[in-house]
Structure 1
Amino acid sequence: MSGSALKRITREFAEISANPLEGVVIFPIDADMFKWNIELTGPKDSPYEGGRFRLNLTLPETYPFKPPVLSFATKIYHPNVSNDDKGSMCLGILRSDAWKPSCKIVAVLEMARGLLLEPNPEDAVENSIAMEYKNNRANFDRIAREWTRSYAK
């Protein structure tokens, strides 16, 4: 199975490299096409603006039949990213029941960057941050900017 997975992953990597996404840089870790480092630049007009966030993307050997795993290596104040050393991300497309073999890595990366522009407090991993986002947006933005300055250099 991993031979066909590798072929698909290599093709998707080439497509993304040929048409880079704004604010997204990708590169495999030690030439292992199943493990990528991702760097997301915080979008303009967001509390993450100016930050450089490192993420890890791990693709299963059964890709595209099983979803990749995407996690933040850079600490981030966000309702959809766990506030621990795992940096687990709550992204609907990555759920086993939502993932389809027709989904592509580029869509995962676009959605991850989109969450920096517009968090989804209704699908939160960090409920207290989600409540703050909904009820005290100014404070959420202030803390997110502080964390971006501190951790996303």
Structure 2
Amino acid sequence: MSSAANTLQRQFKDLIRSPVPGFVVDLKDENIFEWSVAIIGLPNTIYEGGYFKATMTFTNDYPFRPPTFCFDREFYHPNVYEDGRLCISILHPPGDDPVSGEKAEERWNPTQSVESVLMSIISLLADPNCSSPANVDAGVAFRKDRALYDEIVKKQVELSKQDIPTGFKMPTSEKDFMIAAPVEIEEDDNFWYESGDESDFDAEDDVDFEDDEDDD
């Protein structure tokens, strides 16, 4: 198993045991390098009741290179491009960027994790960075016409409800979004991954949760 796959397997298992409130994560087609992420709109915000699906994609260089995060549907927000790609400092390559003015400590570094990315996304939804918008129109509306901005977001909230899985119980109160105690998960010796690169996949190497039980 590649180092990237091992790291992602461990982080995925940690998120299943101790979920980040407001997020649902899963693997796409059992591919450890491609995650399905759903953001659940927090109560008492303009996103309340929303179920926003996205895809998080990792490379074989993870965690030395950041993942990408892309909403599956159009997402109206100053820091989301029209094609759904999220623009946030923590997902920008490591190092200072004199063009944007971003410092290295604001950008990706190998000590970051999927959990830290998800927490940053929650902060960005509540407090957009309008100084360098990916969606200029959304940035202008957020600053100068909040009523219009909120109206557009509420429409996308209603549209997102079409993606709520059958049988899924949506949280409805702030208490539902509180961090819960870790839960035990059933170990699966048959858990496996795809990298998209045949050179990194050995058909005889099954991912075994027990092998990395003591990893940090």
Distance 2:138 2:129 in 1: 11
Distance 1:93 1:48 in 2: 22
State the one-letter code of the partner of 1:124.
Answer: P
Distance 1:146 1:34 in 2: 32
Query: Deviating runs (4+, > 3 A) in structure 1?
Result: none
Larger Rg: 2
What is the match of residue 50 of structure 2?
A: 51
The structure with higher relative contact order (CA 8 Å, sep 6+) is 2
TM-score, with normalisation over the residues of structure 2?
0.66
TM-score, with normalisation over the residues of structure 1?
0.92
Distance 2:145 2:108 in 1: 33
Residue 71 in structure 1 maps to residue 66 in structure 2: no
Q: After TM superposition, give the deviation of residue 151 of structure 1 in Å.
A: 3.7
Q: Name the SS of the counterpart of 2:2 in structure 1.
A: helix
Distance 1:123 1:18 in 2: 36
Output aligned runs, 1:26-41, within 5 Å: 26-41=25-40
Q: Number of matched residues?
A: 150
Percentage of pairs with the same residue: 29
Q: Considering fraction of residues, name the structure with more helix.
A: 1
Distance 1:152 1:82 in 2: 21
Residue 127 in structure 1 maps to residue 136 in structure 2: yes
Could you give the per-residue CA deviations for residues 49-100 of structure 1, whole angstroms, max 9, x where no partner exists? 10100010001101000000111002221111112xx301111100013211
State the one-letter code of the partner of 1:36.
Answer: W
What is the match of residue 88 of structure 2?
A: 91
**Cα RMSD for the two superposed structures:** 1.4
What is the match of residue 109 of structure 2?
A: 100
State the one-letter code of the partner of 1:35.
Answer: E
Q: Considering fraction of residues, name the structure with more strand.
A: 1
